[in-house]
Each structure stands twice: as structure tokens, then as C-alpha cells.
Structure 1
């Protein structure tokens, strides 16, 4: 029940139980009651006996409609720029060959072609024609070879005769490739040998050693992982 009392300009509000008949209606009747002393009361039920009554229809207060759920704010997703393409150039390991000379000496080479040497054909089973060379003087000095590359010997003795120049051929030492693990071990041994020679080397020799050291370091890093 709703009751309002007006006394000296102040309004007192009393809230009571609503009648079931008006609880289901959207409109409500407000009764304006004035007693014999002039006091004003507002009620939702008829005035008491002996009070002056004035009734008014009013809209029943209603709760506001529920607020809609906030809509998600549309955001623009900017895709990150694509990662730059990286090109990695991998150089395959370089082979290392072990070569053997006819005397049994062993050395290593970066190619499968061993050191060249000139041999007469008769040493490899070919027949040759021998005889005295015209103008040959016994005891004459041997001509000096030209250039740094080995060349065919000037003459080969054969029971007092000589083989005519050119009766021979170039042959190379036999070489075979080493396993990669063996290649890395050989390179590390060579690197350690260079380091041990550095302290006792002259200044001019140290420059050569530094160049060789850088070459070995680069090859170890590429072919052996450091």
C-alpha cells in the first residue's frame, strides 16, 4: 500500500502491500485524502471514513527495459608484414685426397691429380729406339731445364747409348679421397701445426702463416662445423 501524508509542507511516504487486483494492471488509482484537521494523505486504497477523498488514475511505474548487451567494437586486424626471405648458401665440403709417390712418400692434395713426373717409356713397358745422338760430346754439361715445371730429362743412359729426347711421358702419383671425418682430423692437425710454428717464426714468415691460418679456419668452419 502507498500512503503519502502532507504535514506542514513535508510529504511522508508510506509503502504498503498492493492489492492483488491492481498488481496486475499497468494503471494505479491514487486517493487524495484530507482529514478534519486539513492533513493530506495520498494512498492507493480508498480514504478512511470521515476523510475527504479525491481519486486519480496514474500510470504505474515500470522498470526500464533491460539495456542491450554492448556490441563488440569492430577492430581492424592488420596482418604483420611477411618475414623477409633469407637465402642461405651452403658450400659442400671440399674433398681431400691422399697421394702416394713411387718411393712410398704420402702427401695430401685438394685434387685427385697427384704431382706430375716425367718417366721414360721403357719404365712403363713401351719399347724405345736408342742410339748415339749426333753431335753428342761425352762429358758435356747437361742443359739446364727452362721454367719451373718439370720437363723431360735431356738424355737417359742405356748401355752407352741415349734415348732420343721426347721418348717418355708424364705420369701422376696415385691419389684416393679421404673420408670426411679423416679430412677434418687432417685439417685440425695442420691447424695445430701452424699455431706451434707461429711463435718461433720470423715476421715475414708470420704473414704467410696468418694467411694459411685464415684459410684453414674458413675451411674448418664450412666443412667441419668449426
Structure 2
């Protein structure tokens, strides 16, 4: 009823003077009635006019709902290239291993890995020790023994460490060593590797095995402490 009323409100064209006979609506048409009362007021309706009113009828197409649009299939996006997730690696950097330069009493220099110079056996008198002539009781040989006493502070030459050993005439001391800067350590390692490669061509097979082992250790240390070069 409401949809027909909305449609009829737009149909304001004058009807023909002749009254059109009422027709039965079909599935695709509808009959519209134009009614005029005694006062001349007109109205449109989809049912016959009441008694006492002038009636005009017109058959029109029945309004139909627009067909529902078919759903548009959403295209499935093509699979993109598989991007591999980068592997995260945690690298722990160890501090560079130090190298030391040691000096012998004669002024010769050499390198050490642990900072301890080569040990040397020296007589105690070179360290300032001498026998003090304090009388003691005689022994069976008839000679009086006088113990050794330091003449001053016990300071080994060249700043080396002293380690008293068994054997009353001397002691062990070590050469003095100083730690090299990291850059100088890397330079010394490269120099040693060059010397190994030069020596390798003239070395015997047994010596070559030792040189290969030493060079492999130097390369590992250069990679860890000196950027691999």
C-alpha cells in the first residue's frame, strides 16, 4: 500500500475523459484510480473510489525491486616471494691478548706471552751479598763458618725478580718485561708470520710442521685481536 502510494503521488498527468474499465491486476501491472469528490478534490489510490465520487482508472507497470547485485569475488592476491628472516648471531669479543717485550742484561730484546722474562742463575755477590766476618764456633775442619749477610737491600739488576733457590752460591732472577701496545703487538705478529713464510722454503720437513703450526696460531690471533689481517 505504501509503495503504491509513493508511486501514485508522482503520476499527476491528467487522465482521459473516458472511464477505463477496471482490470484485474496481473503479476507485472497495477491499476491506479483517480477519484474526484463532490467538492472537486482529487486523490490517487490503488483501490476503487468510494461511492459518490467520480472514478478514473489507468493500468500501469507494477514497480519491482532492483535485482540484488551479485557479490563480486575478491581476488586472492598472489603469494609474494618468501623473505627469509635474517639469522641473529651474538658475537662475544674477547679482549686482545697482551704481548710483552723483555730485555736481557746485554740489551737484547725478545717477546714473551706471559710477561715473565727468561730465568737466569746469578751468584749472590752480584746482588750485593757477601760474607760477614762474625766469629762462630769451630767445626771439625778447624775453619770458622761465617753466614752470608746482605750488604744492602736485595735488589736484582735490571729490575728482574729474584727467587732464592737451594744452593748457597746464587739465585734465579728473570729479565725485565714491559707490555706492548695493542697496535705494536699486531705488528710483531705480522712480522713473525712473514719470517715464518720466508723460512718455510728452506726448512726441513720436520721444521715445516712446526712452522705451519705456529703460523696457524698467529693467523688465529690476528683474526681475533687485529681484525683478521
**Superposition TM-score tier, normalisation by shorter sequence:** 0.5 to 0.7
Alignment of 1:72-221 (within 5 A): 86-128=89-131, 165-221=167-223
SS at 1:200 equivalent? coil
CA separation of 1:114/1:91 partners in 2, compared to 1, >3 Å: closer, same or farther?
same
How far off is 1:58 after superposition?
A: 5.2
Aligned in 2, Cα 1:115/1:220: closer, same or farther, shift over 3 Å?
A: same
Compare the two structures and name the one with the higher strand fraction: 1
Note closer, same or farther for the CA distance 1:63–1:120 as it changes in structure 2 (3 Å cut): same
After TM superposition, the structure 1 = structure 2 runs for residues 6-17 of structure 1, keeping only pairs within 5 Å, are none
Q: State which of 21, 24, 27 in structure 1 corresponds to 2:11.
A: 21
Q: Deviations over 1:158-194 (max 9, x none)?
A: xxxxxx9423221110000000000000000000000
Q: Which moved more, 1:180-189 or 1:57-66?
A: 57-66
TM-score, scaled relative to structure 2? 0.52
RMSD: 4.3
Q: C-alpha offsets along residues 132-179 of structure 1, whole Å, 9 cap, x if unaligned?
A: xx8xxxxxxxxxxxxxxxxx99xxxxxxxxxx9423221110000000
Distance in 2 between residues matched to 1:22 and 1:200, nearest whole Å: 121
Rounded to whole Å, the distance in 2 between the matches of 1:212 and 1:68 is 78
Which structure 1 segments of 5+ residues have no match?
1-17, 31-53, 74-81, 135-151, 154-163
Question: Residue in 2 aligned with 1:63?
Answer: 66
CA distance in 2, matches of 1:19, 1:90: 90
The C-alpha deviation readout for 1:182-214, integer Å capped at 9, x for no partner, is 000000000000001111111121111111111
TM-score scaled by length of structure 1: 0.52
In structure 2, how many angstroms separate the alpha carbons of the residues matched to 1:29 and 1:176? 119
> Contact 1:116 / 1:172 at 8 angstroms: preserved in 2?
yes
Alpha-carbon shift at residue 63 of structure 1 (Å): 2.5
Q: Which residue of 2 aligns with 1:143?
A: none
The offset of 1:21, in angstroms, is 1.9
Q: 1:22 to 1:172 in 2, by over 3 A?
A: farther
Q: Distance in 2 between matches of 1:55 and 1:224?
A: 104
